[in-house]
Structure 1
Amino acid sequence: MLLPQRLQIGDTIGVIAPAGPPNIANLKRAIPVFQKMGLGVRLGTHINNVNGYLAGTDEERLSDLHNMFADPAIKAIIFARGGYGTARIAPNINYNLIQQNPKIMWGYSDITFLHTTIYQATGLVTFHGPMVASDVGKDNFHDLSLKQFEQLFEPATLVYSEIASKLTVINHGIATAPIVGGNLSLLASTIGTPYEIDTKGKLLLIEDVDEVPYKIDGMLNQLKQAGKLANAAGILVGDFANAEPKEGKHSLTLEHVFYDYFSNLLIPIVSGFKIGHCQPHFAIPLGTTATIDTFRKIVKIDPGVR
């Protein structure tokens, strides 16, 4: 496990878009929010580029990622948005560069592919949290979501309980292990690639958005048949926004789908975490050690910075 250095007042963060093109107006609205935290903001060279559904060519997006990790003046990389595209650059990432220059990396959704590949290649703890243009720069960005950035300035154990949201126990148990995962569709897309998610002995976080129950069923089935569910030490089910079946279509409920895949696993499993495409969005470090205790309905997560 490789912990990045904490932020200090006066540090500069880098903002890049390794997947889809961000809404530039939202991005600009977010910059003063970070400046109010005492941080400088530097935008990636290609942040304004648009290449269809990508924020520039693969080479341009990869260049911004490498430049931010290589620049000693940049202390954290906060992604502008997700969308699609990080898997395309994964084979050409200089993982040695990242391991030799560990720093805070923060985002979610399509960034899940980067969380997975970078952690498995380098051991770097990264952060699953709200992004610059797709979250911070919007009018509905929640105060509790903004508060999540505090964990970057001071090492602190995070405790998630029913004070944050109602939690539902699917399977009882207690487990302590590194926490991995993120967006379910991205996790499923790693199967069969060199970057396949390693869940053995890990706490697995899953979340997603705009996926109807049968598609979630399909992705969980893929993880199940690849041995990724039975190998896990526990499962945290985050937010699944807009997961209702289409009107007039026969469907299982999302709860039924979770029951089918999780009820026979002899590991602790809890759903209801406000982690994902939601407001408020609780941010957590990935790769650090966490403890899930279903009897107390709490998850404790070790600090993500040193």
Structure 2
Amino acid sequence: MLKPQRLQKGDTVGVIAPASPPDLDSLAKALPFLRSLGLNVWIGPNVKRTYGYLAGTDRERLNDLHQMFRDPAIKGIFCAGGGYGTSRLAASIDYSLIRSNPKIFWGYSDITYLHTAIQRQTGLVTFHGPMLSSDVGKPDFDDPSKQRFSQLFDPEPFTYSDQTSPLQVISKGTASGRLVGGNLSLLVNSIGSPYEIETRNRLLLIEDVGEEPYRIDSFLSQLKLAGKLDEASGIVVGDFSDTEPKKRKETIELQEVFHHYLADLQKPVLSGFKIGHCLPHYAVPLGAEAELSSREKCLRVAPGVK
């Protein structure tokens, strides 16, 4: 496990768009929040580029990523948005550069592929948290979500309890391990690649948006068949929003899908965590040590910075 250095007021952070083109108006509205934290902001030179459904060519997006890790003046890297495209970069990333220059790396959704790849290749703790154009720049971005940015300055442990939001126990137990995961569909996409999600003796976080129950069923089926659910020490079920059936009226309720795959694992499985495409969105460090307890109905996560 490799932890990045904490931020301090006066530090400069960089903004990149490694997936789809961000909403530039929303991005501009997000920057004052970063500055209110005492940070200077440098925008990657290719953030405003577009190439179809991508925020520039693979080379352009990769150059911004490498430049941010290479530049010693940049102390943290924030992703402008998600969408699609990070899996196209994974095989070309200079992981030795990242390993030699560990920094805060923050995002979620499609950024899950980068989280997984970076951790597999370098061991760097990265952060699953709200993105600038997708979340921070929106008028409804709320205080609980804003407050979780403080973990980048002050390495305090975080406890997500039943008082944070109502949690449901799907399977009983207590387990610990590094917290890994993120967007469920991206985790499934990683299987069979050199950047495949590693769940052995780890707590697996899953979340998603806009997927019908049958699609979530297929994703969980793939994780089960690949041994990822059995290998995990526990499962943290984050937010699943916009899951209403669209193709047909007949469906299986999402909670029944979760119960089918997760209830008999004989390890702690809790759902209801507001982590994902939701508000509030509680950011967590991926790769940090954590403990999940059904008896206490809580997730405890160690600091992600040093």
User: Could you tell me the TM-score, scaled by structure 2's length?
Assistant: 0.99
Superposed displacement of residue 245, structure 1: 1.6
Q: Counterparts of 2:118 and 2:270 in 1: how far apart (Å)?
A: 26
Hey, what does 2:112 align to over in structure 1?
112
> After superposition, what is the alpha-carbon deviation per residue over 1:128-181, rounded to whole angstroms, capped at 9, x for unaligned?
000011110011111111111000001000000011111000011000111100
Q: Counterparts of 1:131 and 1:115 in 2: how far apart (Å)?
A: 14
**1:56 matched to 2:67:** no
User: Structure 2: which amino acid aligns with 1:119?
Assistant: Q
Q: Counterparts of 1:189 and 1:235 in 2: how far apart (Å)?
A: 19
Hey, what does 1:239 align to over in structure 2?
239
Q: Counterparts of 1:246 and 1:20 in 2: how far apart (Å)?
A: 24
Q: Between Structure 1 and Structure 2, how many residues are aligned?
A: 306
Superposed displacement of residue 194, structure 1: 1.4
Report SS of the residue matched to 1:206.
strand
Q: Counterparts of 1:255 and 1:129 in 2: how far apart (Å)?
A: 24
| Greater Cα offset, 104-113 or 258-267 | 258-267
Q: Counterparts of 2:247 and 2:187 in 1: how far apart (Å)?
A: 28
> After superposition, what is the alpha-carbon deviation per residue over 1:87-142, rounded to whole angstroms, capped at 9, x for unaligned?
00000000000000000000000000000000111010000000011110011111
> After superposition, what is the alpha-carbon deviation per residue over 1:21-48, rounded to whole angstroms, capped at 9, x for unaligned?
0000011111111111100000001000
> Where in structure 2 are the equivalents of 1:1-306 lying within 5 Å?
1-246=1-246, 249-306=249-306
User: Structure 1: which amino acid aligns with 2:202?
Assistant: K
Runs (5+) with no aligned partner, structure 1: none
Superposed displacement of residue 246, structure 1: 2.4
4+ residue segments displaced more than 3 Å: none
Superposed displacement of residue 247, structure 1: 7.6
| Greater Cα offset, 247-256 or 74-83 | 247-256
User: Structure 2: which amino acid aligns with 1:205?
Assistant: L
User: Structure 2: which amino acid aligns with 1:20?
Assistant: S
User: Structure 1: which amino acid aligns with 2:101?
Assistant: N
User: Structure 2: which amino acid aligns with 1:170?
Assistant: I
Name the % identity: 57
User: Structure 1: which amino acid aligns with 2:72?
Assistant: P
User: Could you tell me the TM-score, scaled by structure 1's length?
Assistant: 0.99
User: Structure 1: which amino acid aligns with 2:258?
Assistant: F
Runs (5+) with no aligned partner, structure 2: none
Superposed displacement of residue 248, structure 1: 5.3
Report SS of the residue matched to 1:229.
helix
Superposed displacement of residue 266, structure 1: 1.2
User: Structure 2: which amino acid aligns with 1:110?
Assistant: D
Q: Counterparts of 2:4 and 2:101 in 1: how far apart (Å)?
A: 9
Q: Counterparts of 1:76 and 1:207 in 2: how far apart (Å)?
A: 24
